[in-house]
Amino acid sequence: MSIPTPVNEAIQTHYTRSDLGNVILTALEKAGKDVNRLTPDDLAPVDEFHIRGRTATLELARAAGLDAAKHVLDVGSGVGGTSRCLAKEFGCRVTGIDLTEEYCRAAAMLSAKIGLAQLVDYRQADATNLPFDDATFDVVWTEHVAMNIPDKTRLYGEMHRVLKPGGTLAIYDILAGPSGPVLFPVPWARTPDTSFLVRPDELRKLLEETGFTISNWSDTTDAARAWFVALAEKIRKEGLPALGFHVLLGADFQAMAQNQRRNLEEGRIVLAQVIAKK
C-alpha cells in the first residue's frame, strides 16, 4: 500500500466533494434530466473532465485503434466519463483508477445507472504505484492527469510495466508552453504546489527513456484554444449552467475557466495527443 504524500493529500483535497454522486444527480435533475433513465449524452457536460470533452476522447480512441478485444486501463478515470464513452462506443473493457475515492464511487454509480457496469470497473489507486500485475492491459490511457503527478519517471514506468508487449499508450495532456508560468487557479490546481507540467520535449524524452516508441504526436493546442475561448465566453455572458465542470470543482471554476483561456491564448500551456508503443 502506498503512503499518502503531502502532494497526494493536497490533490485529493482539490478534487474531493463529499457525496459527489448525489451532487451530480441533483444537477442532472435541475438540468431537466430523468435520473432514472440516464444516457451517456445526459452526462456529457460533466463527465469528460478535460479540454474538448468527448470529441478529444474519440479522436484519441481512433488514433489508439480501440476495439472490443482491448482491455484498457484508464489512469486518472475521474467520474468515469471516458471509460463509459470507450465501453459504449468501442465495446472494450475498461478498468479505471483514480486517486480520489469519491470520484471512484461516483463513477461506479453513474456507470450502473446507464447500464455499463459489466464493462467498466473502478478502484482507488496511485498512478505511480499501480495495483496490477505486469503485462495486464492492451492499452493504457490517460487524459489530463500527469500535470498533477511530480514523479513522471515512476508514472510512465508503471504504465510501461502493466502494458502487454506491443501494447499502446494513449495520452492527451496539458504541457508547459513556451511563454511563461501558468496563471492560477486552473481546473487541475488552485496553486502551483500541485501543478507539475513538463514541456513537449521533456515528455518525449521521458517516454523514450522509459522504453516507449512514439508512433504519433499531434499538437492540438489550436483546437483546445478555440474550445476554451467559447466555453469561457459563454460562462462570462450567461453564468454557470446547471451542469458543467463547476459541479466537480465548485464556484471558483468561473475564475479557473478565465485563467485557462488566458493560459491557452498567451501560450503558457499547450496540448498534445500522443500514441506510443511498448
Q: What is the pLDDT of residues 236-266, one digit of tens each?
A: 888 877 777 777 777 788 888 889 989 999 9
Element (H, E) at 233: helix 221-238
Q: Count CB atoms within 10 A of the CB of residue 201.
A: 9
Exposure string of 101-134, with b = 16+ CB inside 10 Å and e = fewer, is ebbbbbbbbbbebbebeebbbbeebbbbebebee
DSSP state letter for 186:
B
Higher pLDDT, 270 or 187: 270
- List beta partners, residue 137: 163
The cell numbers describing 141, all together, are 490511457
Secondary structure class of 46 (helix, strand, coil): helix
Phi-psi region of 267 (alpha: psi -120 to 50; beta: other; left: phi over 0): left
pLDDT at 27: 85
- Whether the full predicted model's pTM is greater than 0.85, yes or no, is yes
Q: In whole angstroms, what is the distance from residue 81 CA to residue 89 CA?
A: 12
Question: Please, what is the end-to-end C-alpha distance for the chain in angstroms?
Answer: 26
State the pLDDT confidence band at 8, using cuts at 50, 70 and 90.
low
pLDDT tens for residues 52-90? 989 999 999 999 999 999 999 999 999 999 999 999 999
pLDDT tens for residues 188-215? 999 999 999 999 999 999 999 999 999 9
pLDDT surpassing 70 at residue 268: yes
Farthest CA pair distance, the chain = 50
pLDDT tens for residues 89-128? 999 999 999 998 988 999 999 999 999 999 999 999 999 9
Alpha-carbon Rg for the chain, nearest whole angstrom, is 18
Give the residue-averaged pLDDT of 135-162.
97
pLDDT at 2: 44
- List beta partners, residue 170: 141, 275
Q: Count CB atoms within 10 A of the CB of residue 55.
A: 12
Q: Which CATH number fits domain 6-277: 3.40.1180.10, 3.30.450.20, 3.40.50.300, 3.40.50.150?
A: 3.40.50.150
State the pLDDT confidence band at 17, using cuts at 50, 70 and 90.
low
pLDDT surpassing 70 at residue 3: no
pLDDT surpassing 80 at residue 220: yes
Q: In whole angstroms, what is the distance from residue 244 CA to residue 22 CA?
A: 15
